Structure 1
Amino acid sequence: MLDIVFILVAPAVPENIGASCRALKTMGFGRLRLVATEAHQHKQARILAHGSGEVLEAAEVFPDLASALADVDLSIATSAKSRHQWRSLTPADELADLIAHKGDTVARAAIVFGCEESGLSNEQLALCQLISCIPLPVTYPSLNLSQAVMLYAYELRSLAANAASPSAPVVEDGRQSQYLSLRHKTQELLEQQGYGPESKLARWALELLPQADAKAIGFLHALCDKFTKR
């Protein structure tokens, strides 16, 4: 079963958290993680989560984004700004197919949203493997946090049938996903050839990997293993 979690980093407005819970349940999702916030404890969050209180109650809280992503195979940051160094953004309406084509190489994917005022920092973006955007005809006024969550949940709704409910137990077997294993192998091979994580080649390769489908991931695994054994 593919587990899809939505992560809100440092949300400051309780109403946005409550409205996000309602949006997730409406689209068939139930996993919510909150980072560095207590806003979900406010009364307004519960009011706006009307009809989706179980999503709010089951929300997991983490001190930082790194810990919230510790058990995630594929992390997708959302951004409306171009201040980062990434070469390309994946439109929101392409994400469902991209994730679905990963097959069983990915067990858990996360969609990450930044705070209302400034979004995700460059450091937080660097913790994610893919960056997505919602193409808009105008840049201002921008979408607020709960609106962005609703749009992403809507675009991913085809995956909701296989997503875990908020009350479902998460079974951990300690194994690394095939996709993450490939990512680590690629990093090791690049470093052996003198291409550190800050090199252009390494950044480009690690940007392209999240876009690979299950067949490509299997092929690249075999290729990495062949080079490793030489």
Structure 2
Amino acid sequence: MKQNTAIIMISIISVCMMIVAEQLLGFSYLSKTILKIGLFLGIPLVIIRFVWGENILHVLNLKNTQVSQLKTGILLGFLSALTIIGAYLMLQSVIDPSAIINDLKTRLDITFQTYILVALYIAFGNSLLEEFYFRGFIFFKISQNGNKTFAYIYSALLFSLYHLAIFAVWFDVSLLLLALVGLFSIGLIFNYLNTKSGNFLNSWIVHIMADIAIVSIGFYWFLHS
């Protein structure tokens, strides 16, 4: 129970700090990334290893993972990428790409020249940070401490609210609510998917392929902006 309380307090503070850096302080993407690595990776690793005295690989169940365990993640990854592209094609009439590109350029200081590097980081590095944090650290640790239902809801809700704050200025209210429901549902699905393998690798694969679809759309917008 003490571990769960610590995880909840740490995760709320960390996510709030990221939101403040994102929306209020106007951190550059590089500064925000450094902060995120410290909050989402550095602090949890220190707590797991040196405060709780636990083996990190054992906690995350990353030993002896078989390729066969990842087939579901690969399949769902392809399906998620196709779904994102299909949803964009259906909703592109109500999305304003120029507003999104302008926000990336002005608030995050991302240019067309740096976008490819940022896109690669988002797809592979950022997705790893988020899956380690929301699934490996939050979901699995709270579940291991005996509160699986709460772990499902809390990690998925925090995951959705964190992302909603990132693109709060991109869409109108109806699309934001749709995104909130979608992200919360994705969080629940990721949690369920990972319970089958006991680690976060399957959801990481899905996350990678979904992000590849998203940054590909962004690249298209940059080309036509």
**What TM-score, normalized by structure 1, do the two folds share?**
0.23
Structure number with the bigger relative contact order (C-alpha 8 A, sep ≥ 6) is 2
**What TM-score, normalized by structure 2, do the two folds share?**
0.23
